[in-house]
Each structure stands twice: as structure tokens, then as C-alpha cells.
Amino acid sequence: MIDTMKPYPEYKESGLPWIGSIPKHWDSLPHRAIFEEIKEQGHVNEPLLSVTIGRGIIRQEDLLANSSKKDSSNLDKSKYKLVDPGDIAYNKMRAWQGSVGVSKYRGIVSPAYIVQRLRGDLKPDYFHYLFRTPGFAKEAERWSYGITSDQWSLRPQHFKMIYSCVPPLYEQELIVGFLRKLDRQVLRFIRNRWRLINLLNEQKQAIINRAVTRGLNADAPLKHSKVDWLGDIPESWTLKRFKYVVSIRSGQVDPKIAPYRDWVLIAPEHIEKHTGVIRLRETAHEQGAISGKYQVEPGEVIYSKIRPALRKAAIAEEKCLCSADMYPLAPRRSEILPEYLLLLLLYGPATRYLIDYSMRVAMPKVNRDALGNCWLWYPDVDTQREIMQSLKDKLLPLNTSLDRAQREINLIREYRTRLISDVVTGKMDVRHVSPPPVREDLEEMVESLEPLNDQPDETDEESMDGEVFHADD
């Protein structure tokens, strides 16, 4: 697959550690010769744009539509900067994490963002790909200044001092065309894998739902719960309001003081939907405002009250903080185990009740009263353990398939990142080749890749709509 692409015939040293050698006929130029900074203001009626780490520049309305984030822009937008299609914009506080891209839209961005426009006849999308490589992220980090990492800033005067490689215009066009085709293939592959993951999760949910509403004994006598959304449950099971079985912690702590300032902060974006898996990022110590944090004890369940349809809940493995968008839940363990409570929140019929309740407000959200009045149904603790062990055995094949599908998605993303970096820096000559097909069997491709450094990513985990590669579909 990769063997069809060869290096260029001749190279020269670029003098740039982040790029290395470049094809002999390419240039190496400072950004002051490539870009001019744009500070045009006063376009208050233009739509707002956002510069994201995972998706480049997108309309803010698209960003808000698929997340729990709120519009934090100033009412007075007279100082906001105009961005035209083809302009490069970056978040000066997050350029070193990959918050940079070329805009396909006309709009305005916060005054804190930097807008750059290409001088002369160059291909903006080439620089979009170049600036979103791990190599450029490291170079942006080297030129960023600040007391701590969350205050590092890539100022315009320092951006101008960075050097980049510049192929001839016709090659920039060929490179962009090659990478757009690659993006379409990768996106198609990932979408197919997500369809598989969704089907597997549906099967998994059906199995768990059956276990937590009927138990393991199919012949056990039932009783009517008198709860419309629950129906019948085993006769020996307990039915109680949430608030009588689970303590919903209140009272906030100051994250600026010891020991809380050193604790990891869990926010909804750190929890995978439907799975109960926490995946921390580098921002786990930096999420949101300094107020509104709750202490969480090991073994407690953290539940996101925002958009309950995403079913974001997990068990804390250590002392930590959670954001105000989440509830720390401490179940009475003599009645219900944390792991069993997590199953009910992720897969049980209560999810439908909480979703229906949350849809009554503008931003889908579950308040404390609604959660406290939700019904919980459960057997004795020993039976809970038996159910969880049975589910572990039944779900093993499904979980194995889910892990494989997710691994393949991760591998193809790594493959794309590596290949883009090689192409835009001239390590691979794509002037006479088509993008390699993304085969169903990844083993040969995986063996040809070296281990990659982790790249900051803000890809939306909630839908494949977040998997945007700036490709022309």
C-alpha cells in the first residue's frame, strides 16, 4: 500500500528541525513572506466562526448544535475579526494543540484569534493540512510563550518568524487533491465502522436491558411496577425512588486550593457515550471556569446531566473533581452496587424517562429533582453480582468486536495523520499516484507504520458528523 509511493528523486536540507529535508525544488520561507495578518473589524452581522482542535474552522452554530457548550461570545462584536474563505485563523492560546485551520466560510472570530491571509498565488488548503500536523503543533509550541501551558500564546510576531516548506503551486494543488481523496476514503471507512459499532451497541443494550428488568430467571413471577415506563419487574425486586437509595452530592469545592488543585477534573467530554469509559485528555486539569466543581470519591458514579440521550456516566477510580455539568452519585451499597447503578443509568428504561424529562427545556438537562424522583428497581446485592457476572460472559464476544472496531478507527486515524505529514513535508512524492485504498484488512498497513506520537484531538465523539477532515464531499 505505502510501497506505491516513493520519495522525491533529490532532497536538500530545509534547515528546519520540524520538517527536515525537503525536495530540492521546494522553498523554505518565513511566514512573514507567506502571510499577512488581517485585523478587519466592524462586521457585526456576519456569522460567528469557531476554530477547533479536531475540526478546524466551523460555524459556531454547528459547534453548539452538537455539544453542551453555550454561546460565550461578547454581545458587542464590533471588535471581532473578519475571516474570508481561504483565510487561515488560529487560536493563539491553542495553536500548539492544533487549533488552526483554513476557513471555507465568511464570518467573524473572537479578537483573541489571529487571522492570516496568504500573499500571492498559493493554495490555502495545503497550509491547512501542513499546520494541522503533529510537527507544526510542536513548532507552534516552541514559539509560544506563557507562565503555564494553559497560558501559552503564539503571538502574531512569532508566527511570522516560523518557517514552512512551500512546494510549487501546481504541486500544492496535486497534494491537496490527493489528500482530499484520501480523506473521503478514510471517512467512508470510519463511517462503516461506526455503523458496526452502533449495531453492536444496540445488541448489547438489548441484552443488558433484559437482564436488569427481568433478571436471570425467565420463569420468575412478576409484579406490575405501576411505573408506566418500567412495566413489570420480578416480584422479589425492590422499587424505590432514586433519592432514597442514592445520595446526589451537593456543595462545591474551590479547585484553586490544595488538595483540589492537583486533582483530575472529569467533564462530560471525557466520558464515552453509552460505555461508561473515561478517557482523559491533556485538558483534564483545565476544564471550564474555576467555580462549580464537585468532589468525587473513589467508587462513586459520575453522571452527566447534559443531554441524557448520550448516556454519559462512569465510575470514578480515584479521588477527583467533576464539573457542574455532572452529578456525583453515592449509592447505598447495602442496597445497590455502584456497578449495577451504572448499568441502570447506561442501559435501563430510566434513561427514557430522563430523556423525556430533559426535552422539556431548551438545553436538554436533568435537574436534581427529576433525577431524585426517578424510580430505581433492583434485586438484592448478591443477585446483582450474579447478573453482572452473567452479563460479563454474554457480552464478551460483543465487547471484543467493539474493541476491534474502535481499534481499527484509531489505527486508520493514525495512518491518515502519518501519511498527511509525509506528503505535505515532501517525504512522499504523490505527483503520479492515487491515494492508496483503505482496505478492510488493516494488518499489512499497521505493520508498516512506526509508533506515532499522540496528537491533540477534539473530535466529536457523539456522532460521525464530528469526523470532519476538510474534504470536499
Residue 439 binned pLDDT confidence (cut-offs 50, 70, 90): low
**Residue that the C-alpha cell 424510580 belongs to:** 375
Residues in the chain: 473
Is it the case that residue 444 has pLDDT exceeding 50? no
Q: How many whole angstroms separate alpha carbon 229 and alpha carbon 352?
A: 8
Q: What is the mean pLDDT of the chain?
A: 85
The alpha carbon of residue 182 and the mean position of all alpha carbons in its chain are separated, in whole angstroms, by: 21
pLDDT of residue 409: 94
pLDDT of residue 246: 96
Q: Stretch 402-414: mean pLDDT, rounded?
A: 94
- 128, 470 Cβ separation under 8 angstroms: yes
**Residue that the C-alpha cell 433478571 belongs to:** 215
pTM higher than 0.85:
no
Amino acid letter for position 404:
R
Is it the case that residue 424 has pLDDT exceeding 70? yes
pLDDT of residue 280: 65
pLDDT of residue 472: 40
Question: Which burial class, exposed, middle or buried, applies to 306 when counting CB atoms under 10 A from its CB (0-12, 13-18, 19+)?
Answer: buried
Q: Which residues in 237-254 are b (16+ Cβ under 10 Å) and which e?
A: beeeebeebbebbeeeee
Q: Which residues fall within 8 angstroms of residue 375, CB to CB, at 6 or more apart?
A: 225, 227, 230, 239, 240, 241, 242, 350, 353
Is it the case that residue 231 has pLDDT exceeding 80? yes
Residue 473 binned pLDDT confidence (cut-offs 50, 70, 90): very low
Of the two residues 116 and 74, the one the predictor is more confident about is 116
> For 250-274, how does the pLDDT look when each residue is reduced to its tens digit (9 = 90+)?
888 888 888 888 888 888 888 888 7
Residue 74 binned pLDDT confidence (cut-offs 50, 70, 90): confident
- 16, 136 Cβ separation under 8 angstroms: no
Q: Stretch 330-346: mean pLDDT, rounded?
A: 94
pLDDT over 70, % of the chain: 85
- β-pairing verdict for 222-224 and 232-234: antiparallel
Q: Can you say whether the dihedral through the CA atoms of 435, 441, 447, 453 is positive or negative?
A: positive
pLDDT of residue 60: 86
pLDDT of residue 362: 67
pLDDT of residue 455: 32
pLDDT of residue 443: 42
pLDDT of residue 267: 86
> For 187-212, how does the pLDDT look when each residue is reduced to its tens digit (9 = 90+)?
999 999 999 999 998 999 899 999 99
Is it the case that residue 236 has pLDDT exceeding 60? yes
